[in-house]
């Protein structure tokens, strides 16, 4: 990818960005970091952690690691027994985090698609056409590794078209006072489909938090 971009320096930055997106699409991975996580998003994650005093935190969507670092450092500092899991379909993102935190026993990275492709909707479904890595990683983590333990906090920051199936899986295992946060709503992202779903699931209540351009949803049991 970088080599291809080296040869297009005569075009404008915005054209380069568009071209990069098309090149990604050719590779079958169009998962950009469209809605950057802001300071206000991080503050909301920290607030949720303080409310719940978690022992298990699951993040879906490691990406470049902004939320991963800010969340994990906070946990290390204030809730050092909490196990933090972060999932991504791109191994390179996970490797970066592992190399930064070395052998910390409470940080766990898991590679693969959170759910099954057949559970996703567009745009994720279409984008995953060429994906052939591990899948259903969230269920496998909950059922095998965590073996019936409940999740205290989850942060969904994956992709439009996957938030609802991820929420459904997490909802079954959320601890009584647990919180599920979902990023990207006010920018028209994945949170919109989740809010739409939540209208029809009376087991949960939610608040929309204006954390900046992307926004956050905080979901708890009713």
Ligand X SMILES: C[S@@+](CC[C@H](N)C(=O)[O-])C[C@H]1O[C@@H](n2cnc3c(N)ncnc32)[C@H](O)[C@@H]1O
Kindly list the residues in this chain that would bind ligand X in the complex (CB under 6 A): 31, 33, 37, 60-67, 87-90, 93, 113-114, 157-159, 162
How far apart are alpha carbons 46 and 71 in whole angstroms? 7
Which residue's CB is nearer to ligand X, number 152 or number 157? 157
Q: Could you give the 3-state DSSP secondary structure of residue 133? A: coil
Q: Least distance in Å: CB of 163 to ligand X?
A: 9
* 39/104 with CB nearer ligand X: 39
As measured in angstroms, the least distance from the Cβ of 78 to ligand X is: 20
Please count the helices (runs of H) and the strands (runs of E) in the chain: 9, 7
What is the SS3 assignment for 208? strand
2 Ramachandran zone, left/alpha/beta (phi>0; psi -120 to 50): alpha
Q: How far is the CB of 113 from ligand X (least distance, A)?
A: 5
142 vs 147: CA distance, rounded Å: 6
Residue nearest to ligand X (CB): 63
Nearer to ligand X, 117 or 221 (CB): 117
The least distance separating ligand X from the CB of residue 161, rounded to whole angstroms, comes to: 8
Q: What is the largest CA-CA distance in the chain?
A: 56
Q: Which is nearer to ligand X, 113 or 154 (CB)?
A: 113
């Amino acid at each position: 990818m970088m080599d291809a971009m080296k040869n297009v320096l005569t075009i404008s930055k915005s054209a380069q960005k568009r071209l990069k997106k098309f090149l990604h699409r050719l590779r079958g991975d169009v998962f950009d970091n469209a809605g950057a996580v802001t300071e206000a998003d991080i503050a909301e994650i920290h607030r949720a952690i303080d409310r719940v005093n978690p022992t298990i935190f699951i993040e879906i969507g490691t990406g470049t690691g902004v939320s991963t670092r800010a969340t994990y450092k906070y946990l290390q500092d204030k809730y050092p027994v909490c196990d933090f899991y972060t999932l991504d379909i791109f191994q390179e993102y996970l490797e970066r985090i592992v190399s930064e935190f070395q052998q910390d026993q409470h940080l766990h990275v898991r590679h693969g698609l959170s759910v099954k492709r057949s559970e996703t909707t567009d745009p994720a479904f279409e984008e995953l056409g060429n994906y052939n890595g591990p899948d259903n990683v969230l269920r496998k983590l909950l059922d095998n590794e965590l073996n019936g333990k409940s999740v205290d906090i989850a942060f969904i920051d994956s992709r439009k078209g996957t938030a609802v199936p991820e929420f459904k899986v997490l909802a079954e295992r959320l601890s009584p006072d647990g919180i599920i946060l979902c990023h990207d709503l006010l920018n028209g992202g994945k949170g919109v489909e989740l809010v739409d779903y939540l209208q029809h699931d009376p087991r949960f209540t939610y608040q929309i938090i204006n954390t900046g351009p992307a926004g956050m949803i905080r979901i708890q049991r009713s």
